[in-house]
A and B are shown apart, each in its own frame.
Chain A
Amino acid sequence: MLAAYLILGSVLFALGLIGFMTRRNLIIMFLCTEMMFQGIIVNLVAFGRYPLNGAPTFDGQVFALFLIAVAAAEAALGLALVVLLYRYRGTLDANAFTQLRDD
C-alpha cells in the first residue's frame, strides 16, 4: 500500500514543481509550491502509517503537522509579499521582478 501513497506524493510534488517552473503568475507559482508541500506531507503521513521496519510510530504525523504549520506561515508571508509586489509593479509576472539579480 505504501507504494501507492508514495506515487501519489511524488506525482503531487512533480506537478507542483513543473507548475512552479513553467508558470509566470506569482499566485499560481505560489499555489504550486503549496502543491509540492502537499506531496511531501502525503509522503510523511504514509511513512508514519507504514513504517519500513519495526512498529508504527507517530514521527511521520508529527512532521506532517509541523510542515503544515510552516506552510501556513509561509503562505501568510508569501501572499503578503505578492500583494506588495503587485502594488509596486502592477503586475504579477515573475519576470518583472529581477532586481535582485547579480549584475
Chain B
Amino acid sequence: MKKLFLLLIICLGLSAADATIDVVNKGLVLPKIIVQDATTDFANRAMQDKFFKLVVGDLKVGSAFEVSDRYYTSKFDDSAIISADERADLIYRYALTQLGDRVNLKLKVLNVKTNKEHFSSEYTQSADKFVFLAHKSMVDMARNLNLPPIDWMDKSIIFSQYTAPGKSNIVVADYTLTYQKVVVSGGLNIFPKWANKDQSAFYYTSYIKSVPTLYKFDLKSNNKSKILQSGGMIVASDVSQDGTKLLLTMAPNDQSDIYLYDIISKNLKRITTFSGIDVNGNFVDNDTKVVFVSDRLGYPNIFATSIDGGAVEQMVFHGKNNNSISTFENYVVYSSRESINEYAQKTFNLYLISTKSDYVRQLTAGGVNTYPRFSSDGGSIIFIKSLGVSSAVGIIRVNENRSFQFPLRIGKLQSIDW
C-alpha cells in the first residue's frame, strides 16, 4: 500500500506542468512582508497601480519572503503598527512622486515588532523605465538585509522576437517584460548577446543579401559596426569574462564549427573540426574550456574541449537530444528534448550539470522549455517557455526551487540573453 501511495505521489509530481523539481527548502518558513503605498498626489494612477504589482512580484521572485498580495496604504512617516488581524514581520513602504518626465521612489523597510527601520533609500528614473525603480530597490534591500543576492533583477534582458516570416526585432526589456524597447528592426535580426557586463553593447546576427553578418550594437551611441561575415551561419554564442574574446559558430565552408575570435587582435581560430554539426560554444572553467553542442554521436549532445581544441569529452550521458546550453563557472544548463519522435507530444526539459562532478539536476518537469541562460550571479536561470503560438520568459531561482513566467504579448521569442 505504501508503495502504491508513493507511486501515486511520484506520478502526480511528474504531471505537474511547469513545476520545478523540488529537492530542498521543504517546510522552510519565510518571514511575511506586506507592501504599503504611501504615495500622495501622483497623477498617473495606472503607473501607481502597476508599481504596486511590480513590487509584490519582485518580492515573490526574490523568494526571501512570504508576500501578501493585499494593497495597503499608509502615510510615509506612520509607525509600523498594523491591524491585529494582519500577521506580518516586515513592511515595504514606498512613495512615488513625479518630477517632470522622471519618477522618484522613496522607500523604507520597517520591522513590525520593533517599529525599527531596517533599510531606506531613494531613487529617480525616467518615467518610461519606472519599472527599474522597483527592481533596483529590491537589489539594494537584499544586499542591506543580507538576503540571497538578486543583483540580476535590475539588469536588462535582450531578446529577438519574430514578427513575421523572415523578420524579427531585437528588444531590450526588464526581466518581467513590463519595459520593452525595440533597438533593432527591419529584416531578420537574431541571436543577440550582451557584449559586456555593464550591458552597454550587444552582438547580433543580421543578413546582408542572404549572407549572415555579425554586428556589434552600441546602445549609448545607437551605432552598429560590422564584425565578421560567414556563409551559412554566424552566431556569437558566448563572450569571455573580460569581454575580449568571442566564441562563434560559423560555417564559412558550408560546415558549422566553433571558432574563437579575439576582438582586439581580430585573430580568428577554429576550435572544432568535426564534419558534422558543432554549435553553441560556451566558455567554462575560467575560460579555459569550451562546452558545445555536437551531433558527433548521431544526435545532438553536450561535449567539451580545450580552448585550444584537441580531444573532445562527452559531458552528458542522459537523453538523445540535448542542446541549447549556457554556462556559469563550472555549471552547465541545457535543454533536452524528451519527445520520443516527431509524433509525440513535444516536451523539452532543462537540466543542470557540473563540469567537476557527476551532479545532474532536472529543473523543469513538463512543457516546452528551451534556451536557458544563467543570470550574472549564476543563481537564477532564464529560459524561453513556449505556450502554443506565443511564448513567455521563464525564471528559475535555482537554490530557492521556484519558477516564474512572464508572457510575451505579441510575437514569438527566437533567442534571449541576460
Partners in one complex: no
Enumerate chain A interface residues (CB-CB to B < 8 A): none
